Amino acid sequence: MSSIGTAARTGFARGGIELRQTFSNVTDLWTYLFPAVLLVGTVFFMRNATVPGTDISLGARTLPSTFGMGIAFAGLMTVATLLVTDREDGTLLRAKATPNGMSGYLVGKIVLVGGMTACSFLLQLVPGLFLVDGLSVDAGGWLTLLWLVPLGFVATMPLGAVIGSVIDSARNLGLIMLPLIGLVAISGIFYPISAMPGWLQGVAQGFPVYWLGLGMRSVFLPDASTAAELGHSWRQLETAGVLGLWAVAGLILAPAVLRRMARRESGSAVAARREKAMQRPVG
């Protein structure tokens, strides 16, 4: 139906406008720059270190891993945060009051989060290339990017939406931030996973963060670098498999949870949240 086409087009327009808005205020610019500065700094100090037992540069290994982490963070944390704040301030209720507004809203968020991730990615990649040697992308790498990035988003965004639907206040977002940071710590992003105890390696391999990091390393590092990986392989089949399972789980869960959340949105629900937020102590 044409109205669905309209919703998709409006959603893209919406995402584009909101993406442009992120370049025109200090807070948003800071959320682009801060991680980039932090990361490039980290990579800078790592530039002479190598992965123990190999001659692979630790910096060259870390940079692509963090791109994987970036996708996981954007898909889970950014999506959840946007959903919670948009619910709190009534953006979502407006979408609900508009024909096809919810579809437009969701398409818009996907475009926004995808665009924001791409910008952060460039901000980290470009300075990073000057600092570390040994990063290159061959034809196979480009091909991997083509399926890995979309799959990474599909594996994380629906889950982020589920989290954002379940959490009812911006204050409680910290509840998921901590476990996510813990997950990053054990997922071999900043240090090879082989340094972890076996059971932690097992836990990490159940979640998308490890696989996104691994997938990104497979794109940017030469095949010889698999020496520092589990099984001495990029394990692309397993990467696609685990991410695919998360994607299926998210896509099964998200529509029902989102629908339930949207059904409960009403003027009085927003008013109640506003009341609660107003009483929240400042700072």
Partner 1 sequence: MTTSTGALREATGTPLGEPVLEVRGLRMRYGSTDVLRGLDFSARRGEVVAVLGPNGAGKTTTIEILEGFRMRSAGDVRVLGVDPAVGGERWRARLGVVLQSWRDHSKWRVRELLHHLGTYYAGYSTPERRRPWPVDDLIEVVGLAGQAQQRVGRLSGGQRRRLDVAIGIVGRPELLFLDEPTVGFDPSARRDFHDLVHRLTDVDETTVVLTTHDLDEAEKLADRIVILAGGRIIADGSADELSRRIARESEIRWTRDGNRYVHSAADATRFVRDLFRQYGDGIGDLEVRRAGLEETYMTLVRDFEAGRSASAVSAFEEAL
Binding site for partner 1 (CB under 8 A): 2-3, 6-7, 9-10, 13-14, 17-18, 21, 24-25, 86, 89-91, 93-94, 96-101, 104, 263, 265-268, 270-271, 274
The distance of closest approach from Cβ of residue 17 to partner 1 in the complex, given in angstroms and rounded to an integer, is 7
C-alpha angle 29/149/183, rounded to 5°?
75
Helices (H) and strands (E) in the chain, counts: 12, 0
| Choice between 13 and 177, CB closer to partner 1 | 13
Shortest separation between residue 229's beta carbon and partner 1, angstroms: 42
Of residues 279, 282, 278, 263, the one with CA closest to residue 87: 263
Closest CA to 74 of 111, 40, 30, 116: 116
C-alpha dist (Å) from residue 183 to 20, 38, 103, 253: 31, 19, 31, 22
CB of 102: closest distance to partner 1 in angstroms?
9
Answer for the pair 189, 62: CB distance below 8 angstroms, yes or no: yes
- Residue 99 near residue 179 (C-beta atoms within 8 A): no
Q: Do residues 110 and 15 make contact, with C-beta atoms less than 8 angstroms apart?
A: yes
Q: What is the smallest separation between the CB atom of 91 and partner 1, expressed in angstroms?
A: 4
CB of 274 to partner 1, least distance (A): 5
Q: Between residues 229 and 265, which has the closer beta carbon with respect to partner 1?
A: 265
What backbone phi and psi angles, to 5 degrees, belong to 206? -85, -10
Could you tell me the smallest distance in angstroms from the CB atom of residue 76 to partner 1?
Answer: 23
User: Do residues 186 and 278 touch, judged by C-beta distance below 8 A?
Assistant: no
CB closer to partner 1, 182 vs 267: 267
